Structure 1
Amino acid sequence: MKINQLIKFEPILKDKIWGGEKLATLLNKHSKSKDIGESWEISDVEGDTSIVVNGALKGKNLKELILKYTSDLVGDKIYAHFGEKFPLLIKFIDAKEALSIQLHPNDQLAQERHNSFGKTEMWYVMQADKNANLIVGFQKEVSPKEYIKHLDNKSLLDILNVDEVQKGDVYFIPTGRVHAIGAGVLLAEIQQTSDITYRIYDWDRPNPDGTFRDLHTEEAIDAIDYSAKDSYKTVYSKNENASSEIVSCQYFTTNVLPIKGEVSINHQEKDSFVIYMCVEGNVTFQYENQTEKLKTGETILVPACIKNIKIIADEVSELLEVYIK
């Protein structure tokens, strides 16, 4: 039996010490907490499996879908490689305060140490307060010895690259690259399915109970990429009613798709599910006799076996289109 619907999931909301109100006020994520840091839109992380909220599959979880529909859901090549594990974790993040300075191990280290995938990721800035910034990479190449010296002296910012950001900015974060989301930034994050983070500096910030979050100083030393780039920001172009590639790596490809009016999309050449994240406006998806609305801050999964859809936007809207090549 083929899977025959577009799929929306219940967001999994995460309270964070650095979280704020934007996920509620701007993206309409409902929670009793005032410190929602993350909305996990599609997740197969152990203990946090997404649950379907629409159509005939309502109430089923992502793991059950993969077990039942296998490559019809994810694609032949992806199912052959990942089996019953969904390979991507899709999030919206609101940083009211700065996140810790951190990095993620590569596949080999993550497998050896944590029996996990590594964590390559990317950010798409949806909104940024005045002077809000991101920390991404080093200003110049440093040695592990120099890094440790600055870490001990609490002067890491002297060697890290800090960029002021605005709506539409994109950053690709391969494993090993030191990074942090600054206060006042709301963004969409696409990443490998992994929750392994090496936290190297947390601003000496206590938890509400006075304790401090763990740092991973030793684990991080041989996981860090100490090289530097002239610029870390991704340059890309946008074309109305057309998908334009922003980031492509072995783990995911992300396109930006600005829509006005009606667009017919054919995914015939893809052997992959396709995820759409609405980062501006609102759209309606049509597939056969089904319609699904998607507002800013919502996400939908198109199974790999569904090749033709129509997207309609009454106002200028923008989607991120994510799949695996």
Structure 2
Amino acid sequence: MYPLQFEPILKEHLWGGTKLRDVLGKNIKSETTGESWEVSAVEGDISIVSNGSEKGRSLQDLINENPEALMGKQVHERFGYEFPILIKFIDAKLDLSIQLHPNDELAKARHNSFGKTEMWYVMDADPGAQLIVGFNRDVGREECIKSLEDNTLLELLNYEPVSEGNTFFINTGKIHAIGAGVLLAEIQQTSDVTYRVYDFNRRDKNGQLRELHTDLAIDAIDYRKKDDFKVSYPTNKNEVNQMVDCPYFKTNFLNLDQELHQDLSERDTFTIYMCVSGKATVSNGHGTASLEKGQTVLLPAASRSVQIDTTGAKLLEVTI
């Protein structure tokens, strides 16, 4: 039950770029890598341990072997043997498609999947980079359908300029897209269900238009304008600063320039640390993992304490 690290699962996309390699140091030769899945139990993309005595084993194997020790009793009772969140870094050299995700009920009925609530932490943004989050006014269902037919959807959307440290909470049903020039950390429910509604009429490497999911999306969209997505959070040094607390995950911001020790004896959940700046080592009494910007570690729920040593690092701390 030492701190576990995993081999990145790299995803090629027509909108991907080189920041996962050039900024985060991933071992990538491609010029169009869009995603690095850091901790995943999505079927077909299950993380493999890269460090220590469990090296080469899958995250799912470890869960099946001892679910409460790895995930926590309350997490196991709630999710069984399914790891409930997916951790990624995303590099958008080009605009991503306009999309949204269904809620738990719809995703279960249609895809036998969790829904997909997610959050973004912006790590790097080119000048003028922006995100699309929600509508710029309340929109009717028929109006939205007509805008898709008329190729005018972009006129209805809300654009948010971004810079490093900006954080966004994307609940299910909210239309959204990551804009060109943005590198971010993403924390989400374990789900790969996405409804793409607009893709700038782009074609894939085979010259084909990418599939849209408009019919499925229409019943899943939240058509109301809501200013509930921008996350304001404290950045106090050497403290645990709350960012997001939702039913699917909890995320804190650690802005450290010295050692931090936490008692985890009452924390009945795994803990994931994503390094978004600087360097640190994470120890739990059973082992130590080194983190640099763009690296991730999973602390099993059986850990009774954690010590983070650094002279300068920013970490996202994720639990259930």
TM-score class, shorter: over 0.9
> Which of the residues 94, 98, 103 maps onto 2:100?
103
CA distance in structure 2 between the partners assigned to 1:289 and 1:163 by the alignment: 43
Which letter does structure 1 place at the counterpart of 2:249?
Answer: F
* Residue of structure 1 in register with 2:196 after alignment: 199
Does residue 323 (structure 1) correspond to residue 314 (structure 2)? The answer is no
Instruction: Report if aligned partners of 2:2, 2:286 keep a CA contact under 8 Å in 1.
Output: no
Question: Secondary structure of the equivalent of 2:143?
Answer: helix
User: Offset of 1:287 from its aligned partner?
Assistant: 2.6
Cα deviations across residues 141-166 of structure 1 (Å, max 9, x unaligned)?
11101111211121112111100100
CA distance in structure 2 between the partners assigned to 1:141 and 1:268 by the alignment: 46
User: Offset of 1:232 from its aligned partner?
Assistant: 3.0
User: Offset of 1:289 from its aligned partner?
Assistant: 6.0
CA distance in structure 1 between the partners assigned to 2:38 and 2:272 by the alignment: 10
Question: Secondary structure of the equivalent of 1:77?
Answer: helix
* Residue of structure 2 in register with 1:68 after alignment: 65
Instruction: Report if aligned partners of 2:169, 2:231 keep a CA contact under 8 Å in 1.
Output: yes
Does residue 168 (structure 1) correspond to residue 151 (structure 2)? The answer is no
> Which of the residues 276, 279, 282 maps onto 1:279?
276
**Count of aligned pairs between the two proteins:** 320
> Which of the residues 253, 266, 288 maps onto 2:285?
288
* Residue of structure 2 in register with 1:250 after alignment: 247
CA distance in structure 2 between the partners assigned to 1:156 and 1:44 by the alignment: 34
Which letter does structure 2 place at the counterpart of 1:246?
Answer: M
Does residue 266 (structure 1) correspond to residue 263 (structure 2)? The answer is yes
CA distance in structure 1 between the partners assigned to 2:142 and 2:162 by the alignment: 30
CA distance in structure 1 between the partners assigned to 2:75 and 2:229 by the alignment: 29
Q: Which runs of 5+ in 2 are unaligned?
A: none
Question: Secondary structure of the equivalent of 1:209?
Answer: coil
| Range with greater deviation from structure 2 (253-262 or 231-240) | 231-240
User: Offset of 1:231 from its aligned partner?
Assistant: 5.8
CA distance in structure 1 between the partners assigned to 2:16 and 2:87 by the alignment: 17
Which letter does structure 1 place at the counterpart of 2:315?
Answer: L
User: Offset of 1:291 from its aligned partner?
Assistant: 2.3
Cα deviations across residues 234-257 of structure 1 (Å, max 9, x unaligned)?
111111111111111100011100
> Which of the residues 154, 159, 162 maps onto 2:156?
159
Q: Percent of aligned pairs with the same residue?
A: 53
CA distance in structure 1 between the partners assigned to 2:96 and 2:171 by the alignment: 18
Instruction: Report if aligned partners of 2:3, 2:283 keep a CA contact under 8 Å in 1.
Output: no
Cα deviations across residues 271-299 of structure 1 (Å, max 9, x unaligned)?
11000000000101123263211000000
Q: Give the structure-2-normalised TM-score.
A: 0.98
| Range with greater deviation from structure 2 (149-158 or 5-14) | 149-158
Instruction: Report if aligned partners of 2:119, 2:186 keep a CA contact under 8 Å in 1.
Output: yes
Which letter does structure 2 place at the counterpart of 1:295?
Answer: E
> Which of the residues 277, 302, 307 maps onto 2:304?
307
CA distance in structure 2 between the partners assigned to 1:136 and 1:42 by the alignment: 25
* Residue of structure 2 in register with 1:26 after alignment: 23
Cα deviations across residues 97-147 of structure 1 (Å, max 9, x unaligned)?
000000000111101110110000000000000000000001111110111
Does residue 188 (structure 1) correspond to residue 185 (structure 2)? The answer is yes
Spell out structure 1 runs of 4+ moving beyond 6 A: none
Does residue 43 (structure 1) correspond to residue 40 (structure 2)? The answer is yes
